[in-house]
């Protein structure tokens, strides 16, 4: 699917990975080319712009990792950003809210987008994979051929379709389908609405009326992935006028420009839930942002190389720290690092409670009202110390204490509590280190 974009991006990034050191100008040039490649793949301008900006910011802020080149690191950042753009923050991809039977799924979209085919593909998936009893109904009263098409597909995949009653309008058919689903004990009823060649008021009015009559659990928009930016515009219109819960991108088996996938989430805020990968009834897949990003970039080896290198470095750092702690070397720099990690991991008590032997300290902290604002103040105190004081907190005498406390806008008593905590932790680390030498903690720490 993303052949052109993929070729362009790997061309640009290949040049980067072949260089040893990277200047800011190198990265800027590469990112300009990335932007052009995205635009040529029909990614919308604001999305392409934000994409490049995000990569640039991350590239500037990232520490250099040993054993990979800066260019390889940039590739990894581009990859992660692709995943982010494709997936957004939500975890609602591939999932449908169809727990309360009979749950209704409204299938909407333009004529020729692959709506009827996708309805049948999804019905097949739900009945075979998820063991749901599915009923399909075509609401396309204007095109008897479309109704026939769904009936034929139903027979082919072994899923029931609602018998056709000539003369009924879309809302009447939808109501009959829901009734039939309730009576017949179906888990899911899929409503294949009529399409038009373009978005028009009549179409939207009809779909909205069906929506009001059936209160669907999911409203899935089927759009042709080959139509690029148009697909995104159609999605915005349907979402604005009918409200959609997700998108199915069809024809992703073609070597289209792929821009629709990249812009869809960012522009509409709606998840791509499935992709159509062919005309056959099982050519429907859950949308996998990681996989798609991998396909777009075509540089999976570099991505996993950088991931491994980063993991190794983190492990090395942790090990170095552990060795120092075992010798009782736990100064204010270490405490600051711990406090910052605790902030990231959501508060102190939880974490202390999880560490062996720290339950008591955790309780003390709880009693002294140790919350995130306390952590912030403690970090401020440490920041107010000189380099020498951080490394050797035992040199803190009265005058130093006054200066440090004032520097953080706090009292000397606050600083005393921090110093006590640092001493306690250093002691504890030492004890744990000794236990480690006897072998008791080895399993737990290593």
Q: Contacting ligand GDP (CB under 6 A), which of 76, 132, 217, 251?
A: 251
Measure the CA dihedral 100/101/102/106, to 10°.
40
C-alpha triplet 322, 324, 325: angle, nearest 5°:
65
| Binding site as annotated, residues for GTP | 109-116, 192-196, 250-253
Alpha helices by DSSP H, listed for 269-368, are 289-297, 300-326, 332-344, 348-354, 359-367
How many residues belong to the site for ligand GDP (CB under 6 A)?
17
CB of 275 to ligand GDP, least distance (A): 7
Determine, following the binding rule CB under 6 A, whether residue 248 of this chain makes contact with ligand GDP: no
Angstrom distances, CA of residue 61 to CA of 15, 73, 80, 220: 21, 12, 15, 39
Q: Which among 293, 239, 275, 265 has a CA at the least distance from the CA of 47?
A: 265
Are 370 and 348 in contact by the 8 Å Cβ rule? The answer is yes
Q: Contacting ligand GDP (CB under 6 A), which of 4, 62, 111, 329?
A: 111
The CA distance from 286 to 218, in Å, is: 16
Determine, following the binding rule CB under 6 A, whether residue 245 of this chain makes contact with ligand GDP: no
By beta-carbon proximity to ligand GDP, the closer residue of 71 and 154 is 154
By beta-carbon proximity to ligand GDP, the closer residue of 10 and 250 is 250
Is residue 440 classed as helix, strand or coil in its secondary structure? coil
CB of 134 to ligand GDP, least distance (A): 17
The CA distance from 201 to 191, in Å, is: 20
- Write out the binding residues for ligand GDP, residues 172-201 only, by CB under 6 A: 195
Determine, following the binding rule CB under 6 A, whether residue 116 of this chain makes contact with ligand GDP: yes
Determine, following the binding rule CB under 6 A, whether residue 279 of this chain makes contact with ligand GDP: yes
**How far from each other are the two terminal CA atoms of the chain, in whole angstroms?**
44
Determine, following the binding rule CB under 6 A, whether residue 138 of this chain makes contact with ligand GDP: no
Q: Looking at 54-62, 203-211, 273-281, 412-420, which segment touches ligand GDP (CB under 6 A)?
A: 273-281
Q: Looking at 111-119, 319-327, 331-339, 420-428, which segment touches ligand GDP (CB under 6 A)?
A: 111-119
Q: Looking at 213-221, 230-238, 245-253, 432-440, which segment touches ligand GDP (CB under 6 A)?
A: 245-253
Are 148 and 156 in contact by the 8 Å Cβ rule? The answer is no
Residue nearest to ligand GDP (CB): 276
The token duo for 217 is 């659990």
Determine, following the binding rule CB under 6 A, whether residue 276 of this chain makes contact with ligand GDP: yes
Determine, following the binding rule CB under 6 A, whether residue 273 of this chain makes contact with ligand GDP: no
Residues that bind ligand GDP (CB under 6 A): 109, 111-117, 195, 250-251, 253, 276-279, 283
């Amino acid at each position: 699917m993303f052949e052109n974009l993929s070729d362009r991006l790997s061309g640009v990034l290949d040049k980067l990975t072949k260089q040893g050191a990277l200047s800011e100008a190198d990265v800027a040039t590469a990112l300009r080319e990335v932007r052009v490649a995205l635009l040529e793949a029909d990614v919308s301008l604001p999305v392409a712009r934000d994409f490049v900006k995000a990569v640039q910011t991350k590239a500037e802020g990232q520490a250099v990792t040993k054993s990979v080149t800066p260019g390889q690191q940039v590739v990894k950042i581009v990859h992660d950003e692709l995943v982010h753009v494709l997936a957004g923050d939500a975890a609602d991809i591939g999932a449908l809210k169809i727990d309360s039977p009979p749950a209704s799924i409204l299938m909407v979209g333009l004529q020729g987008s692959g709506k009827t085919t996708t309805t049948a593909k999804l019905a097949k998936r739900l009945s075979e994979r998820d063991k749901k009893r599915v009923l399909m109904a075509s609401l396309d009263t204007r095109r008897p051929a479309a109704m026939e098409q769904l009936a034929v597909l139903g027979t082919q995949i072994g899923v029931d379709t609602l018998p056709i009653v000539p003369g009924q309008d879309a809302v009447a058919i939808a109501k009959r389908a829901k009734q039939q689903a309730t009576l017949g004990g179906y888990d899911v009823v899929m409503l294949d609405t009529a399409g038009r060649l373009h978005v028009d008021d009549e179409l939207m009015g009809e779909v909205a009326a069906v929506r009001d009559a059936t209160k669907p659990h999911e409203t899935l928009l089927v759009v042709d992935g080959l139509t690029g930016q148009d697909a995104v515009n159609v999605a915005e219109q349907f979402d604005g006028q009918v409200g959609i819960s997700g998108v199915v991108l069809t024809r992703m088996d073609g070597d289209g420009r792929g821009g629709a996938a990249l812009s869809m989430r960012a522009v509409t805020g709606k998840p791509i839930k499935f992709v159509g990968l062919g005309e056959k009834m099982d050519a429907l897949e859950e949308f996998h942002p990681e996989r798609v990003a991998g396909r777009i970039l075509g540089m999976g080896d570099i991505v996993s190389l950088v991931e491994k290198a980063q993991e190794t470095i983190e492990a090395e750092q942790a090990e170095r720290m552990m060795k120092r702690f075992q010798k009782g070397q736990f100064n204010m720099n270490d405490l600051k690092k711990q406090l910052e990690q605790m902030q990231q991991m959501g508060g102190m008590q939880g974490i202390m409670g999880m560490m062996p032997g720290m339950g008591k300290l955790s309780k003390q902290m709880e009693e002294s009202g140790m919350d995130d604002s306390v952590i912030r103040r403690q970090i401020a105190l440490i920041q107010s110390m000189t380099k020498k004081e951080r490394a050797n907190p035992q040199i803190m005498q009265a005058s130093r204490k006054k200066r440090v406390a004032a520097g953080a806008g706090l009292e000397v008593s606050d600083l005393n509590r921090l110093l006590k905590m640092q001493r306690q932790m250093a002691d504890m680390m030492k004890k744990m280190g000794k236990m480690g030498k006897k072998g008791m903690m080895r399993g737990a720490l290593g």
